């Protein structure tokens, strides 16, 4: 399943978040395939990843939720949406 994570840096923890990202690259744990990340220079961004392992997703979110405000949303592509619409 594909997920989109949107995040916003908590301003008071910006330096800690930057240091952590520089240390480990923010890579996901085993069980998650990172598709891509896009970062706005204003402290927020988006990640697209695939996983069938809800525990791996929970672990990844837990690794960052102390410095980021996050939303994790399951998403589908155009072809799957067409199927939903009966096309």
Residue 23, domain CATH = 3.30.70.1060
How sure is the predictor about 24, in pLDDT bands with cuts at 50, 70 and 90? confident
Q: 76: domain range?
A: 2-84
C-alpha–C-alpha distance, residues 83 and 80, integer Å: 5
Phi/psi of residue 69, each to 5°?
-95, 125
What element of type H or E holds 49? Answer: strand 44-50
What is the number of structural domains in the chain?
1
Q: What is the pLDDT of residues 32-87, one digit of tens each?
A: 999 999 999 999 999 999 999 999 999 999 999 999 999 999 999 999 999 999 97
Q: Are 50 and 32 in contact (CB under 8 A)?
A: yes
Question: What number of CA atoms fall less than 13 Å from residue 71's CA on the CB side?
Answer: 7
């Amino acid at each position: 399943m594909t997920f989109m994570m949107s995040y916003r840096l908590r301003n008071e923890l910006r330096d800690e978040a930057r240091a952590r990202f520089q240390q480990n690259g923010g890579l996901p744990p085993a069980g998650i395939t990172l598709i891509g990340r896009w970062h706005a220079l204003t402290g927020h961004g988006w990640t697209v990843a695939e996983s069938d392992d809800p525990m791996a997703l929970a672990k990844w979110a837990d690794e960052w939720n102390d410095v980021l405000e996050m939303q994790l949303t399951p998403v589908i592509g155009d072809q799957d949406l067409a199927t939903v619409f009966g096309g």
